[in-house]
Amino acid sequence: MSNIKQQDWAYLAGFLDADGSIYVRVKPNNSYRYGFQISPSVVFFQSSKEKEKMVEIQKIFEAGYLRERKDGITEWTVGDQKSIRFIMENTMPFLRLKKKQAQLMLDVLDKKSEVKTKEDFVGVVERIDEFKTLNYSKKRKNDKEKVLAKLKFNLNIELKKKNLLAP
């Protein structure tokens, strides 16, 4: 990945600003410590008619994978944190429309790696909720409430097991 030129990063920033998406999903998943998986994504969309060219672009940046949707759109999705960080840091100087989302993504990845307590985890989710405003999301419902409700529920079960709560 060391051969990527500044002009390639500027190109990718234009592509991302025009037609890309930067977001983090908070998915309920009991195999994770706090009952939720935090799943960051950087996605580029194009007509599947341009799939070959998208493969070429993806090869330059050696990140993520392409997925052809049934509706004629091909998505180039970058989901691993190392690649996301790499793309955010390098497109950052050139981004004009999605600079705030890129900065927020880096902040979330930093905070996520430092989580030690439930409170830390809720703090990360609180930051993630900021994407919904930046991305003009139609689903503006905050994930924080969902996470807090689940954490409270889990705590109740734990206390019940220890007979610390009235039945």
Give me the residues that bind a second copy (CB under 8 A), please. Answer: 6-8, 10-20, 44, 46-47, 49-50, 53, 56-57, 94, 96-97, 136
CB of 9 to a second copy, least distance (A): 8
Separation CA 57–CA 52 (nearest Å): 9
| The amino acid at 127 | R
CB of 100 to a second copy, least distance (A): 11
CB of 84 to a second copy, least distance (A): 18
CA-wise closest residue to 37 among 132, 115, 107: 115
Q: Which is nearer to a second copy, 68 or 145 (CB)?
A: 68
CB of 16 to a second copy, least distance (A): 8
DSSP class of residue 80 equals S
Instruction: Provide the H-helix boundaries in the chain.
Output: 6-19, 51-61, 81-91, 99-113, 118-134, 143-161
Phi, psi of 56 (to 5 degrees): -60, -45
Q: 21 with 135: CB under 8 angstroms? A: yes
Q: Which is nearer to a second copy, 83 or 154 (CB)?
A: 83
CB of 66 to a second copy, least distance (A): 14
Q: Which is nearer to a second copy, 36 or 61 (CB)?
A: 61
DSSP class of residue 42 equals E
Q: Which is nearer to a second copy, 30 or 133 (CB)?
A: 133
Q: Which is nearer to a second copy, 96 or 116 (CB)?
A: 96
